[in-house]
A and B are shown apart, each in its own frame.
Chain A
């Protein structure tokens, strides 16, 4: 059963404990200065944003069901585990940063200042998840705004919340169908795009890897065909010479081709 995170912005109180727990889990520094940073970076995988209206939004890797980053990576350094997390194998990475360009949510961040830089992003605590535990952010959340569980159960719960308190919510579960579905689901009282997330209309429901794979998957058919055409062109334009050469070979002589 695939796991997921449900973030309900209407419950969030902007305590930023998820940020601290995330930093601790990933062995990253965390202090007041970093807490005040309002952008995600290579040392801050999740951030709680606040607008002037006291609405909050948590940003983290969406853990797409069919992640563009994993499809884009030439060496397969990123992949989706069967539990749900999209994880990163630093030892494979060559640093092309195609994952960063490919990600619709701008999640992979880079260690620009390092000499052997790595891509950093939320990896949904894969060790904890594999052990059947919650992610660090969900575990510490004092109000249940970040909830961890089976994706199907969380989707049902999100739909329930929308049904029971329609006035509290903008009527959309962000991540249910966007880019083919994600393992992070977001409920909010305002459209998520006001916090810089791409709109559902822009994202569509087609998994991003489909856009490239529908081209790539034709290559195995295309190569022999094109080779045949090229070979055919050569064969036609050189038929005479080939005949002459074959005859020359038969006779064992050193005749060259005709000019």
Chain B
């Protein structure tokens, strides 16, 4: 195999080298040396982006598996596996991010023996730990298919429905609890982002992002790997996204209305600029775009709407995790370049592993797929197939 240096490969290598240097600083000189975190601002981009956004962007799996396996909408099946892969990667990288952020990552397992059921963080930790295992099981089917392991494959497929239900339960809990994390310090949060409804907002936006992310990754990978795009599927997902965004927009409006914040939103301030950036990208622009049927039915239109929407919700999480606390703490937090380069490395790793998995494992099913209880002969045929189609 020849190794050709392309533009993106160079970018990837540079990001990795940068990140590795920062990792060295992190583990040999401490968090203080690598980041702009301080006693007054103890949580930064590693929590705001790596954790909050990482988990949010990985929500596609529970949404899509729920639709495919529980609502039994079979025609959406082809996007289930890529969504599970994205989620599994997302959670693994979230844990990598956590190992960087935690001051004593070597004691992360203390979570299992010193439990504090009153802590939201404990609940999030347990859910994430369990859910990553669930995702690994769901995803293992692809590996078993690839290596033609018929018996374990049958076991996984038999267990699929309980796994999917467990996955949705755990996701509901921790997606919303990431919002609950921010309820314990009302005096520190800006009222734009302190609401008792935060857990609900985090959950509903996770559903929206799950749908948008599934459309995003389907489109992106169809372009990158020259696959044909499942347009009818993403059109259907786009419709669901449109509805979810309306529900979310309505609830956000009601929340601001009942807490008497509507006037403050239109009053120019540091916080209101960030809020507008968030609301414009997460709601106003995507909802406007998706209201046109022509855009809802076109691959490019959907892709554009989803990209803006994803950026909007990333802004939302960063606002909750960072912007909302800048006023009360009097700290204007900007991540140090080494801090940001670790985040960049984690994102780059995500793209890289996703590409590798798509290349070597049966992720995108083409014409057909097997039911959960298919005969072994079909598996053999399927397992052989990707070698012909995907490995060049």
Q: Which A residues fall within an 8 A CB radius of B?
A: 40-42, 68, 71-77, 92-98, 100-104, 106, 109-118, 198, 202-204, 208-209, 211-213, 215-216, 219, 223, 226-227, 230-231, 233-234, 237-238, 245, 254, 256-257, 259
Contact = CB atoms under 8 A, between A and B. Distances in A.
Interface stretch (B66-74, B145-153, B204-212, B223-231): B66-74
B120 interface: yes
A209 B104 contact: no
Interface in B173-219: 173, 177, 180-181, 183-188, 196, 199
Contacts of A115: 27-30
Lowest 4 CB-CB distances: which A-B pairs, in order?
A: A95-B103, A112-B32, A237-B72, A76-B116
B32 to A, nearest CB: 3
Contacts, number: 173
Contacts of A40: 39
A233 to B, nearest CB: 5
Interface string B100-127: 0111110110110011111111110100
Given A95-B102, A98-B181, A215-B199, A230 B169 contact: yes
Nearest to A71: B118
Q: Which of A40, A111, A116, A216 has the most CB of B within 10 A?
A: A216
Contacts of A213: 118
A223 to B, nearest CB: 6
Given A94-B105, A94-B110, A226-B169, A211 B184 contact: yes
B95 interface: no
Contact of A74 (B38, B121, B172): B121
B374 A110 contact: no
A256 B183 contact: no
B184 A94 contact: no
Interface size class, chain B: 35 or more
Given A92-B114, A215-B199, A233 B71 contact: yes
Contacts of A112: 30-32, 37-39
Given A75-B116, A92-B110, A257-B371, A117 B30 contact: yes
A42 B123 CA distance: 28
B103 A110 contact: yes
Nearest to A202: B187
Interface in B336-392: 371-375
Given A72-B120, A116-B104, 12 more contacts: A74-B116, A75-B116, A75-B122, A95-B104, A98-B121, A98-B181, A112-B39, A113-B30, A117-B30, A198-B187, A209-B184, A223-B169
A230 B168 contact: yes
A116 B103 CA distance: 7
A212 B71 CA distance: 32
B165 interface: yes
Contacts of B121: 72-74, 96, 98
B333 interface: no
B43 interface: yes
Nearest to B69: A234
Contacts of A98: 119, 121, 181
B268 interface: no
B71 A211 contact: no
Q: Which of B31, B39, B43, B185 has the most CB of A within 10 A?
A: B39
A198 B186 CA distance: 11
Q: Which of A73, A95, A109, A226 has the most CB of B within 10 A?
A: A95
B137 interface: no
